[in-house]
Amino acid sequence: MSTKTASTPDDTKDVSGANWWRQAAVYQIYPRSFSDSNGDGLGDIKGITAKVPYLESLGIDAVWLSPFYPSALADGGYDVDNYRDVDPKLGSLADFDEMTAALHAAGIKLIVDIVPNHSSDRHDWFREALASPKGSAARDRYIFREGKGKDGGLPPSDWESLFGGPAWERIIEPDGAPGQWYMHLFAKEQPDFNWDNPEVREDFLKTLRFWSDRGVDGFRIDVAHALTKDLSEPLPAKAELAAEDETTDGTHPFWDRDEVHEIYAEWRALFNEYNPPRTAVAEAWVHADRRGRYASPEGLGQAFNFDLLQAAFDAEQFREIIARNLAESQVTGASSTWVFSNHDVVRHATRYGLPKGPGRNGPAQAWLKSAGTEPALNRELGERRARAATLMMLALPGSAYLYQGEELGLHEVVEIPATDRQDPSFFRNPGVEIGRDGCRVPLPWTSEGIAFGFGDAAAHLPQPEWFSAYSVARQEMQPGSTLALYREALRLRGNLQTDELLKWLGGPHDSVLHFIRPNGWQSITNFGTGPVELAAGTVVLSSSPLTDGKLPADTTAWII
């Protein structure tokens, strides 16, 4: 992009060629919560097009769009009615083409989400399956089974859906009698496809071609590790399945089976018919040892690692994760991926403002549930650490995935009344799960107005008053704002978009994380409690102001 500095070597920063994705900064847009152009409270495609200048000013290389397909929103759009259309609530295919052209004109690539494990229960194929008899070709596209017990009234197994409750739902047969059960790993509105069925395979190839022909540059593959299943009888009981959803030998009945890669090899052949080849990144919550299979050049090509996202703000943990993933990238040939926030997890500004603890959401989830009674969140500390973590991440070799709103330092929104909540994990786990709505609240563009500039009507998830201070308009007037930091960091990152790895400076147990890239660019992060001396050189950017020339706690500096 034109804002990138000229010193980037041409052979490595290859935004127009086949390797554009390897070192890209990818910005995730959750379309319904980004920008509302028509005042219906829901973000839309035209809203995104209108914000292309903003995206350009951020200095990102690509946008990843979460699902924008027709959907009843049982799971925020991850319940797809039709894979080859735009939700009329969000616009039309013509709007999509206009948005793609505007992004491309700004030098920004476009990645779209593909949801192949399940459709919605309103998909034509599922309706046809319900209207067709047992054993029919229409039913075979999904996973139907007879129930157990008297009159088949019990589910075929005791498996649970990821959103809570049973993973099977009983249907009413066309003759009006209760009948078979279908499998859904997620909400009951998300029936799982049967990937042994050739029609399913053909149809997804058609979908990938449809969007590739429209100029989409790449795909993010939802739950990429779940497609192929071994559901031969007798189905194992829940207790017999691995306790974790991460097995290591490919024998789990539905997670991370080896055969899934046959599908991705076929997809890769299709992607490579295009010039430049279409890219893909797998969302695969699998054991680290098996992640490389998804990232293989014969497969999807890249896979998310959610290791940093699951770690505490801790130098040793960060260093170990970075070293391990960079070593792995040498084996797979893919570039590493880094991510701190997305639409499924508590925002990292909030996670880092809470007491340390393990897990994807760990103490954050506990705090969210008890919000109001345990004021444990230190907002300022969380933001400060989030800025430090992100600045460090942007100096790493690999692709950096950013989630809308993190460039504003946004916190998770806790104060969403139960009546406004939308996430199925909230409804399927009464009193247990708070759900993921708190990171999906529409962005504040201005400090005032009915929806803080998101649109001309109240936003579909209520925005809290404190959003005012985080708005784009406000931060554009503040030189040291989080937005200003992201813009400058992304601009300077043009110097770092090479596959060359890093060298660690300092020991593995230091509370300072210090590394140098081959061009002499250093990143140094202070995870300790007091200020530390900086390495010699010029500080080109720091995530918080230096104190007396020293690097204060919870701060990253870039030095050349």
- 167 vs 485 by CB, closer to ligand GLC: 167
The letter for the amino acid at 242 is A
Closest separation between CB of residue 186 and ligand GLC, Å? 5
Q: Residue 547: helix, strand or coil by DSSP?
A: strand
DSSP string across 89-134: TT--HHHHHHHHHHHHHTT-EEEEEE--SB--TTSHHHHHHHHSPT
Q: Is 115 in the site for ligand GLC (CB under 6 A)?
A: yes
Closest separation between CB of residue 75 and ligand GLC, Å? 5
Q: Residue 303: helix, strand or coil by DSSP?
A: strand
- 436 vs 487 by CB, closer to ligand GLC: 436
DSSP string across 229-254: ---PSSPPPGGGS-SSS--SSS-SSS
Residue 244 annotated as catalytic = no
Q: How many CB atoms lie within 10 A of CB 52?
A: 18
Burial (CB count within 10 angstroms: exposed 0-12, middle 13-18, buried 19+), residue 540: middle
Binding pattern for the stretch 375-414 against ligand GLC, x by CB under 6 A and - elsewhere: ----------------------------------------
**DSSP label at 362?**
H
Q: Is 183 in the site for ligand GLC (CB under 6 A)?
A: no
- 28 vs 212 by CB, closer to ligand GLC: 28
Q: Is 75 in the site for ligand GLC (CB under 6 A)?
A: yes
Q: Report d(CA 103, CA 65) in Å as an integer.
A: 12
- 307 vs 344 by CB, closer to ligand GLC: 344
Closest separation between CB of residue 286 and ligand GLC, Å? 13
Q: Report d(CA 67, CA 35) in Å as an integer.
A: 15
**Catalytic residue chosen out of the listed positions 11, 230, 273, 298:** 273
- 95 vs 189 by CB, closer to ligand GLC: 189
Closest separation between CB of residue 224 and ligand GLC, Å? 10
Q: Is 352 in the site for ligand GLC (CB under 6 A)?
A: no
Q: Report d(CA 202, CA 160) in Å as an integer.
A: 29
- Residue with the two structure tokens 């890093």: 502
Q: Which of 256, 344, 412, 554 lies at the binding interface for ligand GLC (CB under 6 A)?
A: 344
Q: Is 192 in the site for ligand GLC (CB under 6 A)?
A: no
Q: Report d(CA 223, CA 206) in Å as an integer.
A: 19
Closest separation between CB of residue 231 and ligand GLC, Å? 19
- 71 vs 556 by CB, closer to ligand GLC: 71
Q: Report d(CA 520, CA 51) in Å as an integer.
A: 35
- 222 vs 407 by CB, closer to ligand GLC: 222
| Binding-residue total with ligand GLC (CB under 6 A) | 9
Q: Report d(CA 250, CA 254) in Å as an integer.
A: 9
Q: Is 223 in the site for ligand GLC (CB under 6 A)?
A: yes
The letter for the amino acid at 170 is R
Kind of pairing between the strands at 503-505 and 399-403: unpaired
Q: Is 222 in the site for ligand GLC (CB under 6 A)?
A: yes
Radius of gyration of the chain from its Cα atoms, rounded to whole angstroms: 23
The letter for the amino acid at 375 is P
**Catalytic residue chosen out of the listed positions 81, 222, 423, 433:** 222
- 186 vs 294 by CB, closer to ligand GLC: 186
Closest separation between CB of residue 461 and ligand GLC, Å? 15
Return the structure tokens found at 216: 């989409």
Q: Is 437 in the site for ligand GLC (CB under 6 A)?
A: no
Closest separation between CB of residue 456 and ligand GLC, Å? 28
Q: Which residue is nearest to ligand GLC (CB)?
A: 78
Closest separation between CB of residue 436 and ligand GLC, Å? 7
Closest separation between CB of residue 323 and ligand GLC, Å? 27
Q: Is 186 in the site for ligand GLC (CB under 6 A)?
A: yes
Return the structure tokens found at 317: 């943990």
Closest separation between CB of residue 105 and ligand GLC, Å? 29
Kind of pairing between the strands at 178-183 and 144-145: antiparallel
- 4 vs 225 by CB, closer to ligand GLC: 225
Closest separation between CB of residue 89 and ligand GLC, Å? 18
Binding pattern for the stretch 264-283 against ligand GLC, x by CB under 6 A and - elsewhere: -------------------x
Residue from 416, 463, 457 nearest 443 by CA: 463
Which phi and psi (to 5°) does residue 252 adopt?
-60, 140
Q: How far is CA 402 from CA 180, 266, 337, 406, in A?
A: 43, 29, 11, 7
Cβ pair 221, 116 in contact under 8 A: yes
Q: Which of 68, 78, 182, 264 lies at the binding interface for ligand GLC (CB under 6 A)?
A: 78
- 385 vs 440 by CB, closer to ligand GLC: 440
Q: Is 203 in the site for ligand GLC (CB under 6 A)?
A: no
Number of residues assigned to the chain: 560
Residues 280-299 that bind ligand GLC (CB under 6 A): 283
Q: Report d(CA 307, CA 336) in Å as an integer.
A: 11
Cβ pair 304, 284 in contact under 8 A: yes
- 28 vs 526 by CB, closer to ligand GLC: 28
Residue 273 annotated as catalytic = yes
Burial code (b: 16+ CB inside 10 Å, e: under 16) for 380-393 equals ebbbbbbbbbbbbb
Q: Is 461 in the site for ligand GLC (CB under 6 A)?
A: no
- Residue with the two structure tokens 């994760």: 321
Kind of pairing between the strands at 25-29 and 399-403: parallel
Residue positions annotated with a catalytic role = 222, 273
Binding site for ligand GLC (CB under 6 A): 75, 78, 115, 186, 222-223, 283, 343-344
